[in-house]
Amino acid sequence: MLKKIARFFFSIILAFVIVFGGFWVFFGDTVKEEYAVYKKSSAPILLYHAVGEPVEIEWPPGMILSASLFEEHLQYLTQEGYQIITVAELADRLKLGYSVEKFVAMSFDDGYRNNHSEALPLLKKYNAKASFYIVDRDIGKTIYMNQSQLLDLIASDMEIGSHTINHAPLALIDPKYLPWEIGSAKKFLEKKLNGYILQGKAYPNGGYDKNVINAMQEYGFVYGLTGKVGANTHQNFAQAPYEMYRISIVDDGSRLEGFKRRLERAYIWGYLQTKGIDLNILREMLMK
């Protein structure tokens, strides 16, 4: 079975390399120009989890970044001339048709305490902003941020968003719980944050479906974050504000090189989507 999957994967990749490689050779300059134009009109959203001090749960390798590696990312983006903004700010720019050239949004899922103790000081140091997606039931628990730390993020011009009440995989649960995990999650968190209005939600594990999108709209969210890889354009946002793309940032051991590759991957996958090639579909098939 594994062999079959591997062969299937290999043949798809091979076909892709031949088609796209051929395309590149024959239309190289045009493709490069188009890609450069695409990059200017799109912005990636980076997804982080924990930074710095280890947290006391089981983690897949690479999910916790050292503070020094995170700082290297900030340094690199700053040197490259990127403005690092919140997802709400990016959504606004996309909605209004403002330029997003050399803009990147940063996001942190799950609300770990080290987001406040380790990441926030570095974000401030580099004049960067980020969005933090919080699970209601975890607020104040040992490894998670408490109410005053969340309020401090808001006071520091960061964005807070929802990540459901129970970290519920929204496409897998009974749809009767969607009003709770989407609507009530928003209300509870807004109350905890003294009336701060939430604009966005990150879907736990990236999963969503039509019911989720409908509920997002019904409960007044401005945008939703999926686990699909790509970059975000004005057109994407106008068509599907609840299906924004993100790229997961992990420590693969190659320091800055791995980060540069992931940043580029967001743009490449996004560009290919404009050509009707969605590598997310292939990835989903392989993960099933």
What are 42's strand-pairing partners? Answer: 233
CB-nearer residue toward Zn ion: 52 or 204: 204
CB-nearer residue toward Zn ion: 110 or 136: 110
Please report how close the Cβ of residue 281 comes to Zn ion at its closest, in angstroms: 23
Surface-to-core class of residue 68, CB atoms within 10 Å of its CB (0-12 exposed, 13-18 middle, 19+ buried): exposed
109 binds Zn ion (CB under 5 A): yes
Range in contact with Zn ion (rule: CB under 5 A) among 20-28, 105-113, 117-125, 219-227? 105-113
110 binds Zn ion (CB under 5 A): yes
Q: Which residue is nearest to Zn ion (CB)?
A: 109
138 binds Zn ion (CB under 5 A): no
CB-nearer residue toward Zn ion: 119 or 272: 119
User: 3-state class of 144 per DSSP?
Assistant: strand
Please report how close the Cβ of residue 206 comes to Zn ion at its closest, in angstroms: 9
Q: Residue 38 and residue 101: Cα distance in Å, rounded?
A: 9
Q: Residue 201 and residue 212: Cα distance in Å, rounded?
A: 11
Nearest to residue 273, comparing CAs of 47, 41, 108?
41
Range in contact with Zn ion (rule: CB under 5 A) among 62-70, 109-117, 184-192, 260-268? 109-117
The total of other beta-carbon atoms located within 10 Å of residue 223's CB is 25
136 binds Zn ion (CB under 5 A): no
User: Which residues in 191-220 contact Zn ion (CB under 5 A)?
Assistant: 204
CA distances from 16 to 11, 24, 43, 271, 272 (A): 8, 12, 24, 14, 11
Residues contributing to the site for Zn ion (CB under 5 A): 109-110, 204
